[in-house]
Amino acid sequence: MKKSNTTLWITLGMIVLVIVPVVVFAVISGKNKPDESGKYDGLAQCLTEKGTKMYGAYWCSHCKTQKQMFGSSFEKIDYIECSLPGGQGQTDECNEAKIEGYPTWEFSDRERMSGEVSLEILAEKSGCGLE
């Protein structure tokens, strides 16, 4: 009888030692996720309607950061992938557009901005509202 109580406590202790850290990690990780609410849908849609494009590459860390600024609203951005599979070279479309770095934002007046651009600047440059 005493041995089964000890086994039960050891089992419960092991469960607590495994489950509590997993739950704590899940809670902490959830707080660090980028905005996925689509709260910039209006800005993203307006940028696209006004002819603004973002040229980027899947392996580009600055492109990833730029996409995260928009959260799920990025799906409404006119995005052109420039990298060939394996990151070896650039697509014909980006070569013809003379894209030299990522990300590159191109506006309807053909003016370009390279690097991570704040949502405020994108809104101002394009004449779109920032919600």
Q: How many CB atoms lie within 10 A of CB 80?
A: 16
Q: Rounded to an integer, what distance in angstroms lies between the CA atom of residue 88 and that of residue 47?
A: 30
pLDDT at residue 52 in the model: 97
If you ran DSSP here, which 8-state letter would residue 33 be given? S
Mean pLDDT of the chain: 85
What's the pTM value of the predicted model, to 2 decimals?
A: 0.71
What radius of gyration do the chain's Cα atoms show?
23
Output phi, psi for 35, to 5 deg.
Answer: -60, 125
What is the band of 16 on the pLDDT scale with cuts at 50, 70, 90? low
Mean pLDDT across 51-58: 97
pLDDT digits (tens, 9 = 90+) for 78-128: 999 999 998 889 999 999 999 999 999 999 999 999 999 999 999 999 999
What is the band of 26 on the pLDDT scale with cuts at 50, 70, 90? low
Contacts of 62 (CB under 8 A, 6+ apart): 102, 103, 115, 116
If you ran DSSP here, which 8-state letter would residue 83 be given? B
pLDDT at residue 6 in the model: 78
Strand 104-106 vs strand 53-56: parallel, antiparallel, or unpaired? antiparallel
